[in-house]
Amino acid sequence: MLEITLAVSLLIGVVVMGGLISIGNERQRRALEAMNTALNNWAIGDLKIKRESAALDVRTLDPLRWLDERAHRVMGFSPGVRRPLRYSPNPCAIEVSTRTNFLLVFSPVEPRQMRRICRKEDRKDGLLEQPPMLLGKRPGSVTVYELSALMAHPI
């Protein structure tokens, strides 16, 4: 009888210790998850601050050369930006020609939003006061290169 009591108490002790360890591990997991979330939020906020400060420091004496350098950075070759053709305030964009007669559009507007704005249906509905620059007959097939203020090295 004594052996059975000891075995049952030992089993109960092992189960209780396992439960306590599991509770402690769960608390630790939640604490680490909260720390990870806080770190991610801090990193995103820090990146936003860096982007904003980098965007404010943009100073260029020759805008066409600066645009050509940005295009060279993403395209792998210098397209030779020659002159601006059109500027659109809505959506904010500038269309330029190159020495090979290609058209480049530079804009801080997200590509998906730019395509939506440049669709013919939106222009017909009168959503825009003036027609935006066109991304061709098929805006969805236009090659897009994205640069942030940090990646573009604006200075």
Which pTM value belongs to this model?
Answer: 0.50
Q: d(Cα 89, Cα 28) in Å, to the nearest integer?
A: 52
pLDDT at position 42: 95
Please, what are the averages of pLDDT over each run of 10 residues along the chain (155 residues)? 92 95 96 96 91 75 84 84 81 83 81 73 50 59 68 53
pLDDT at position 56: 75
Cβ partners under 8 Å of residue 121, min gap 6: none
| Alpha-carbon distance values, 109 to 12, 65, 113 (Å) | 64, 21, 7
Q: d(Cα 26, Cα 32) in Å, to the nearest integer?
A: 10
pLDDT at position 53: 82
The DSSP annotation for 104-117 comes to EEE-SS-HHHHHHH
pLDDT at position 155: 44
Domains of the chain, residue spans: 1-56, 63-141
User: Using CA of residue 7, residue 9, residue 15, residue 20, what is the dihedral sign?
Assistant: negative
pLDDT at position 135: 64
